[in-house]
């Protein structure tokens, strides 16, 4: 994708006259910069997950010291492609309990329990990206209000919206980082991995204002014979109750704040103009524009408030599609490797030439399937999903669709219009 996008960008002058030859090529050529950005971020997420065509890259070595784990191969120690292993982070003889510099340790690609490990990791990454994306969208609405000098809307709409979003879902993202930092597999109690509370249960208890129950099975999470509370830090229950209460208080401000301010400004104008305003309205005749009724204002504001409050919940959950797409993409690439490419390495009992030809042919078949299915079909699917996230979850925070239609400046169009104007002038003069 990166090389194709760079080719279309660098050779756009020579490709511009040929773009209408094929409708499909015209679509890709028109979106060449989007394809370029997609390729860059695909490479970035591939490095984070350390998953490239279902294989991992050993950039920083491994922090695992399994006796049966060896990245090298020889005649006496061959690589067994079908071998799998169960990784246990709690075992000090396997894991050194040190953070990997960037991304995922490459040894997880060969682990039989990698899905259980990567599943929660990718889900949390999707939530982090989603909350950051929506927060940026709300910040864009602030720019709109500042450019229009709607300072009252900043206080009555922007601040309640950003407080509601960050106070609830921003706090959830903060809890993800706190859990990542505080707890570890080989850390002593109460910071070992089996003492870490479940974030989903914690968030549900937070929204229901329910006191977290102590799991009596967590017998290792105690000090001096007394079971510890399952909260991550002191005062967590009080802070969570305060954030929920603060978020609930923001809802009536978003609902009634702007309509009340509009009615207040109208009463001020009526008191200032008085009878003069009524005379001016009567002089305009029956075609004058009436002020928007309070009921209509309340209905519109109620729709926007309900859309934002409920949308904050559904939109946050909608970003989990990134998690699902990542899992599907990883499994599909693994199927292509295990059922296609790995066959080429099984010709060990044949002469060397047969194996070389088999690798050549099977690699060509694998490359065609990879480009057509993984890059094109899966890439189109991922593009449609991310386009939906931009249009609904992101742009709904600030985009209104009102104003002047954007018309890009074009010299050819200007010269064409000028030539047509000259023709009209010459025609008028001749007449």
- List the structure tokens of 245: 């209460």
Same domain? 251 vs 334: no
Mean pLDDT of the chain: 83
The answer to whether residue 184 sits within a structural domain is: yes
Same domain? 250 vs 330: no
Same domain? 200 vs 305: yes
The answer to whether residue 353 sits within a structural domain is: yes
Same domain? 252 vs 276: yes
Q: Any bridge partners for residue 222, and if so which?
A: 227
The answer to whether residue 215 sits within a structural domain is: yes
Place of tokens 């209509």: 296
Going by C-beta distance under 8 Å and a sequence separation of 6 or more, which residues neighbour residue 210? 204
Q: Provide the domain limits for residue 101.
A: 62-112
For 229-243, what is each residue's pLDDT tens digit?
578 888 888 999 999
The answer to whether residue 416 sits within a structural domain is: no
Mean pLDDT calculated for residue range 185-209: 82
The number of folded domains in the chain is 4
Q: Of 112, 136, 151, at which residue does a domain stop?
A: 112
Mean pLDDT calculated for residue range 55-65: 83
The answer to whether residue 255 sits within a structural domain is: yes
Same domain? 162 vs 250: yes
pLDDT at 277: 56
Same domain? 331 vs 232: no
Same domain? 105 vs 123: no
Same domain? 350 vs 364: yes
> Could you tell me if 2 and 39 are in contact, meaning their C-beta atoms sit under 8 angstroms apart?
yes
Distance CA 85, CA 68 (A): 9
> Could you tell me if 231 and 218 are in contact, meaning their C-beta atoms sit under 8 angstroms apart?
no
The answer to whether residue 100 sits within a structural domain is: yes
pLDDT at 379: 85
| Range from 67-81, 176-190, 360-374 that averages highest in pLDDT | 360-374
Q: Any bridge partners for residue 95, and if so which?
A: 64
- List the structure tokens of 259: 């309509």
Same domain? 24 vs 41: yes
Q: Quickly state the pLDDT bin for 162 (edges 50, 70, 90).
A: very high
Q: Is 68's pLDDT higher than 70?
A: no
Q: Quickly state the pLDDT bin for 92 (edges 50, 70, 90).
A: confident
Same domain? 148 vs 216: yes
- The number of residues making up the chain comes to 431
Q: Is 161's pLDDT higher than 90?
A: yes
Same domain? 162 vs 37: no
Going by C-beta distance under 8 Å and a sequence separation of 6 or more, which residues neighbour residue 369? 336, 340
DSSP letter at 55 equals B
Mean pLDDT calculated for residue range 397-405: 83
Percent of the chain with pLDDT over 70: 86
> Could you tell me if 300 and 157 are in contact, meaning their C-beta atoms sit under 8 angstroms apart?
no
Q: What is the DSSP string of 202-254?
A: HHHHHHHT-PPPP-TT-TTSEETTEEPPS-SSTTHHHHHHHHHHHHHHHHHHH
For 271-318, what is each residue's pLDDT tens digit?
777 655 555 555 554 444 456 677 888 888 899 899 999 999 999 999
The answer to whether residue 408 sits within a structural domain is: no
The answer to whether residue 81 sits within a structural domain is: yes
The three-class DSSP label of residue 192 is strand
Distance CA 108, CA 106 (A): 5
pLDDT at 263: 86
Q: For residue 321, which of 117, 133, 171 has the smallest C-alpha distance?
A: 133
Same domain? 216 vs 269: yes
């Amino acid at each position: 994708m990166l090389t194709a996008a760079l080719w279309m960008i660098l050779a756009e002058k020579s490709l511009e006259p040929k773009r209408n030859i094929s409708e499909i090529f015209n679509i890709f050529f028109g979106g060449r910069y989007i394809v370029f950005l997609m390729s860059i971020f695909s490479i970035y997420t591939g490095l984070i997950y350390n998953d490239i065509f279902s294989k991992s890259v050993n950039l920083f070595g491994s922090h695992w010291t399994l006796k049966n784990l060896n990245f090298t191969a020889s005649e006496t120690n061959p690589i067994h492609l079908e071998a799998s292993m169960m990784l246990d982070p709690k075992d000090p003889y396997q894991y050194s309990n040190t953070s990997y510099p960037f991304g995922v340790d490459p040894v997880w690609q060969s682990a039989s329990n990698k899905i259980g490990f990567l599943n929660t990791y990718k889900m949390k990454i999707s939530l982090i990206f989603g909350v950051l994306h929506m927060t940026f969208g709300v910040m864009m609405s602030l720019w709109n209000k500042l450019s229009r000098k709607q300072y009252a809307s900043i206080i009555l709409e922007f601040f309640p919206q950003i407080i509601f979003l960050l106070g609830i879902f921003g706090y959830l993202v903060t809890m993800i980082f706190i859990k990542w930092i505080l707890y570890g597999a080989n850390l002593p109690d109460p910071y070992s991995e089996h003492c870490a509370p479940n974030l989903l249960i914690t968030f549900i208890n937070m929204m229901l204002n329910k006191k977290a129950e102590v799991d009596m099975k967590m017998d290792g999470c105690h000090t001096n014979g007394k079971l510890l509370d399952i909260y991550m830090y002191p005062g967590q229950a009080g802070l969570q109750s305060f954030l929920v209460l603060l978020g609930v208080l923001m809802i009536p401000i978003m609902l009634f704040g702007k309509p009340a301010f509009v009615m207040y400004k109208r009463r001020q104008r009526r008191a200032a103009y008085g009878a003069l305003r009524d005379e001016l309205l009567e002089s305009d005749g029956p075609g004058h524009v009436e002020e928007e009724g309070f009921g209509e204002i309340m209905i519109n504001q109620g729709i926007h408030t309900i859309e934002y409050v409920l949308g904050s919940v559904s939109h946050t959950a909608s970003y989990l599609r990134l998690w699902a797409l990542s899992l599907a993409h990883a499994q599909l690439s693994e199927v292509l490797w295990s059922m296609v490419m790995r066959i080429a390495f099984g010709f060990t009992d044949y002469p060397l030439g047969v194996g070389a030809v088999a690798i050549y042919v099977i690699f060509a078949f694998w490359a065609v399937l990879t480009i057509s299915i993984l890059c094109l079909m899966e890439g189109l699917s991922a593009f449609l999903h991310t386009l939906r996230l931009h249009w609904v979850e992101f742009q709904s925070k600030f985009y209104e669709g009102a104003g002047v239609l954007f018309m890009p400046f074009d010299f050819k169009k200007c010269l064409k219009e000028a030539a047509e104007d000259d023709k009209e002038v010459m025609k008028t003069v001749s007449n």
